[in-house]
C-alpha cells in the first residue's frame, strides 16, 4: 500500500514538472499574440484620435514651418538613435501653451507653445519630453490606467469611436502622467539634449516661467497640470549640475525668430 502511494506521488510530481517545463518553454507573449494585439490597438487609437483632431482643428501644413520644426527635432533623434520617420509630428493652430503625445507615435504641438518659448532649446526640451513618453510607452500605460483597457478596445472597434476619441484626447491633452512617469520623461529629455549637445537649462527655465506666470489661465499651460512644476525645474538643474555642456544652437537666432513669426501668422 505504501509502495503504491509512493509510486502515485512520483507519477504526479513527474507529471507536474513535465507540464511546468513545457509551459516554461512557451513564449506566452508570442503564443497569445499580446504584443501584436497591443500594437494594433495603439495604431487604431492613434489614428482615431488624430482623425478627430484633423476634423475639428486647423493644422499647419506650410512646408517652410514644417521643415523648420524638423530641423529642431532631427538632432535629438540622430543623437539618440530614434527613428525620425516613426514620429508623426503635427502643429495645431491653437493659442494654448500645450504639447502632448498620442498613441501610435503621434506628437501634437500647439502654436501657442511655439510662440511662448523664449529659446529654441526650451521647445526642444518639450519635444524631447513628449518623445520620451512615446519611446518609453507611457501613452498606453496612462490610458490603460485612467480609461481602462476594455474601454480602449471598445473605442477602437465600436460605433461610438468618435465620441470616445474626444474623451481620450481630453485625457491626454489636459492631465498629467503619474509623477514617476513625468520625471522619467523629464530626465530622458535632458539626456536626449545632452547627447545632441543642446543646453537643457532653457527647458528648466521654461518650466519655472510657466509655473510662476499668474497672468494666464492655468488651463493654457503645458506645465499647469504636471505635478510639482518648480520641483521638476530644480531636479533638472540638479541633474545637469557639474556636467560639461557642449551646447550649440540648432538653427540661427534669426531663423528661430522667423520660425516663430511664421507660426504666429498662420
Is residue 171 located within the same domain as residue 258? Answer: yes
Identify the residue with better confidence: 34 or 16. Answer: 16
Say what the pTM is.
0.82
Same domain, 221 and 253: yes
Residue 15 sits in the same domain as residue 109: no
DSSP structural state of residue 19: H
Secondary structure class of 60 (helix, strand, coil): coil
Q: Is there a single domain that holds both residue 78 and residue 139?
A: yes
Whether 134 and 24 map to the same domain: the answer is no
Q: Say if residue 240's pLDDT is above 90.
A: yes
pLDDT score recorded for residue 112: 94
The residues near 243 (Cβ < 8 Å, ≥ 6 apart) are 194
Three cell numbers written together for 142 = 496612462
The arithmetic mean of pLDDT across residues 194-222, rounded, is: 78
How many domains, the chain?
Answer: 2
Do residues 188 and 147 share a domain? yes
Average pLDDT over residues 141-159: 81
56-101 pLDDT, tens digit each: 999 999 999 999 999 999 999 999 999 999 999 999 999 999 999 9
Contact between 198 and 190 under an 8 Å Cβ cutoff? The reply is no
Same domain, 19 and 72: no
Per-residue pLDDT, 29? 44
pLDDT score, position 22: 56
**Whole-number pLDDT of residue 4:** 58
Enter the DSSP assignment of 199. -
Question: What does the block give as the cell for 113?
Answer: 507653445
For the chain, give the percent of residues with pLDDT over 70. 79
Query: Range with the lowest mean pLDDT among 121-125, 195-199, 214-218?
Result: 214-218
The reply to whether 88 and 146 lie within a common domain is yes
What is the DSSP annotation of 88-144?
Answer: EEEEE--SS--EEEETTTEEEEEHHHHHH-SSHHHHHHHHHHHHHHHHTTHHHHHHH
Reported confidence tier of residue 239, pLDDT bands at 50, 70, 90: very high
Q: Has residue 11 got a pLDDT over 70?
A: no
The pLDDT-based confidence of 28 (bands split at 50, 70, 90) is very low
Q: For residue 144, give the nearest of 213, 225, 45 by alpha carbon.
A: 45
C-alpha cell at 141: 500605460
Average the pLDDT over 130-156 and give the result: 89
* Whether 3 and 108 share a structural domain: no
259 shares a domain with 177: yes
Give the residue-averaged pLDDT of 21-39: 54
Are 147 and 207 members of one domain? yes
Helix (H, G, I), strand (E, B) or coil at 56: helix
Domain, as residue range, for 136: 34-265
Are 23 and 130 part of one and the same domain? no
| Section 7-31 average pLDDT | 57
Q: What's the mean per-residue pLDDT of the chain?
A: 84
Amino acid at each position: 500500500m505504501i509502495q503504491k502511494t509512493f509510486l502515485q506521488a512520483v507519477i504526479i510530481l513527474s507529471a507536474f514538472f513535465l507540464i511546468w517545463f513545457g509551459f516554461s518553454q512557451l513564449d506566452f507573449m508570442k503564443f497569445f499574440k499580446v504584443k501584436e494585439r497591443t500594437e494594433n490597438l495603439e495604431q487604431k487609437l492613434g489614428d482615431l484620435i488624430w482623425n478627430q483632431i484633423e476634423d475639428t482643428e486647423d493644422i499647419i501644413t506650410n512646408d517652410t514651418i514644417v521643415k523648420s520644426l524638423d530641423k529642431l527635432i532631427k538632432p535629438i533623434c540622430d543623437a539618440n538613435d530614434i527613428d525620425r520617420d516613426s514620429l508623426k509630428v503635427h502643429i495645431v493652430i491653437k493659442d494654448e501653451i500645450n504639447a502632448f503625445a498620442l498613441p501610435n507615435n503621434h506628437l501634437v504641438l500647439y502654436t501657442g507653445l511655439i510662440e511662448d518659448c523664449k529659446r529654441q532649446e526650451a521647445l526642444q526640451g518639450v519635444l524631447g519630453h513628449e518623445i520620451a513618453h512615446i519611446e518609453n510607452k507611457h501613452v498606453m500605460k496612462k490610458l490603460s490606467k485612467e480609461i481602462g483597457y476594455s474601454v480602449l478596445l471598445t473605442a477602437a472597434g465600436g460605433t461610438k469611436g468618435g465620441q470616445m476619441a474626444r474623451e481620450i484626447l481630453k485625457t491626454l491633452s489636459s492631465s498629467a502622467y503619474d509623477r514617476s512617469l513625468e520625471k522619467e520623461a523629464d530626465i530622458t529629455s535632458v539626456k536626449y539634449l545632452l547627447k545632441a549637445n543642446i543646453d537643457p537649462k532653457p527647458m528648466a527655465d521654461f518650466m519655472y516661467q510657466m509655473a510662476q506666470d499668474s497672468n494666464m489661465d492655468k488651463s493654457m499651460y503645458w506645465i499647469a497640470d504636471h505635478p510639482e512644476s518648480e520641483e521638476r525645474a530644480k531636479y533638472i538643474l540638479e541633474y545637469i549640475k557639474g556636467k560639461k555642456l557642449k551646447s550649440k544652437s540648432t538653427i540661427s537666432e534669426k531663423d528661430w525668430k522667423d520660425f516663430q513669426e511664421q507660426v504666429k501668422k498662420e
